[in-house]
Amino acid sequence: MTCFAGIDISARTFTFAVRVNGKTTLVSELNQTPEDHQVLAKKLMALSPERIVMEATGVYHFDLAVALARAGLSVCVINPASYHHYAAMRLNAAKTDARDAVLLAEYGESMRPVLWQAPDDDCMALRDIARMMTRAVQCRTRSKNRLHALKARTGTADALLELEDEDVEYYSRKTEKLRALALKIIAKNTALKAAYTHLCSAKGVGETTAITVLGELSLLPRDMKANQVSRHAGLHVRQSQSGSSVNRPGRLGKAGNGHLRRALYMAALSAAQHEPRAAMFYQGLVKRGKKKIQAICAVMRKYLTGLWSCIKHGQDFDSAKLFSIKHPEGVDA
């Protein structure tokens, strides 16, 4: 007997479908509560499906995926774009929760996606803290910009300046508290502590960048290859060529983790100035006619490869393995 399950996720409910021997035998809806997560886990454990497929839908899929994975079930969390193209290939005309759940089960049956692993609690907490810290920094920057604009005007009320200044101080304190909390989690976890030390060995990677990068990369399976991690971050180059009529320049995919891209952008800017090999690579691309932003994105991609190697292999950052002095302009930019 072959069994596959698909789960369509919503904010308050989820719909699941079960296919046995190529036929849909069960479609039902439950609430997004811990109790119903366990109800579904018990039902699926009795069926022992080969794959349970759901889309990565923001935060709404996560608790359910963890509950099922920790119950010993084979969970697959797929990219929504992958399912979208699959549904289009099947010429799916209907768009209902039940139909989506059935199609997700069919996707698991035909595509056999890789299994998803529930992340470590410390890694998950670190990612949440790092993202909140990034938002606090962004809010502080916006407040500083507004304060600068108010000061540039004549006649601005002192009360407005004081209120905006209070916002800057508030977000500064919040950022420092979050940073301290992240470092506390890293310090008590041996694996995270070692990885953090390796990341900080890279020029251009400071405390904040290391926390953000570690928070995002520590959740990825260790068997992922460098090009897969680049696609995860949206740093892969998309070519658009077809016959003689379509020949557009390559562009970044950007269909990936924006938090990683933001962190790597600042690291790449610093590396292009202060890391000798990265600077030669960057300058070589510019001399070849690449735009500066294209060259920076190429450095970002190289740096991501090096940082992933730090975590995957437990070693310090080595720019010599990424940037060639003999061919400083690189071959994949």
- State how far the Cα of 305 lies from the Cα of 312, in Å rounded to an integer: 10
Whether 175 and 227 map to the same domain: the answer is: no
Asked if residue 249 is part of any domain, the answer here is no
The last residue of one of the domains, among 76, 92, 111, is 111
- State how far the Cα of 94 lies from the Cα of 114, in Å rounded to an integer: 27
Asked if residue 183 is part of any domain, the answer here is yes
Instruction: Report how many domains make up the chain.
Output: 3
Structural contact between residues 157 and 151, judged by C-beta atoms closer than 8 angstroms: no
- Torsion 320-326-332-333 (CA) sign: positive
The last residue of one of the domains, among 42, 77, 111, is 111
Mean pLDDT of 111-125: 91
Residue percentage of the chain with pLDDT more than 70: 93
Range of the domain at 300: 203-240+257-333
Asked if residue 50 is part of any domain, the answer here is yes
Whether 172 and 210 map to the same domain: the answer is: no
Give the CATH number for residue 102.
Answer: 3.30.420.40
Asked if residue 95 is part of any domain, the answer here is yes
User: CB within 8 A of 324, min separation 6: which ones?
Assistant: 330
Query: 124-169 pLDDT, tens per residue?
Result: 999 999 999 999 999 999 999 999 999 999 889 999 999 999 999 9
- Residue in the block written with tokens 């699926």: 44
Query: 171-197 pLDDT, tens per residue?
Result: 999 999 999 999 999 999 999 999 999
Mean pLDDT of 56-72: 91
- State how far the Cα of 266 lies from the Cα of 175, in Å rounded to an integer: 17
Length of the chain: 333
Whether 307 and 222 map to the same domain: the answer is: yes
Structural contact between residues 168 and 143, judged by C-beta atoms closer than 8 angstroms: yes
Whether 207 and 181 map to the same domain: the answer is: no
Query: 267-277 pLDDT, tens per residue?
Result: 999 999 999 99
Whether 261 and 290 map to the same domain: the answer is: yes
- Torsion 216-218-221-225 (CA) sign: positive
Q: Is the pLDDT of residue 238 over 80?
A: no
The last residue of one of the domains, among 111, 139, 165, is 111
Asked if residue 248 is part of any domain, the answer here is no
- Residue in the block written with tokens 């949206």: 234
Asked if residue 19 is part of any domain, the answer here is yes
Whether 220 and 131 map to the same domain: the answer is: no
Structural contact between residues 308 and 235, judged by C-beta atoms closer than 8 angstroms: no
Asked if residue 133 is part of any domain, the answer here is yes
3-state secondary structure 211-264: HHHHHHHCCCCCCCCHHHHHHHHCCCEEEEEECCCEEEEEEECCCCCHHHHHHH
Q: Is the pLDDT of residue 118 over 80?
A: yes
Output the CA angle 159-162-165, nearest 5 degrees.
150
| The pLDDT of residue 247 | 63
Average pLDDT, the chain: 91
Query: 262-298 pLDDT, tens per residue?
Result: 999 999 999 999 999 999 999 999 999 999 999 999 9
Asked if residue 229 is part of any domain, the answer here is yes
Q: Report the Cα–Cα distance between both ends of the chain, in Å, rounded.
A: 49
Whether 91 and 38 map to the same domain: the answer is: yes
pTM greater than the 0.85 cutoff: no
Whether 12 and 81 map to the same domain: the answer is: yes
| The pLDDT of residue 252 | 74
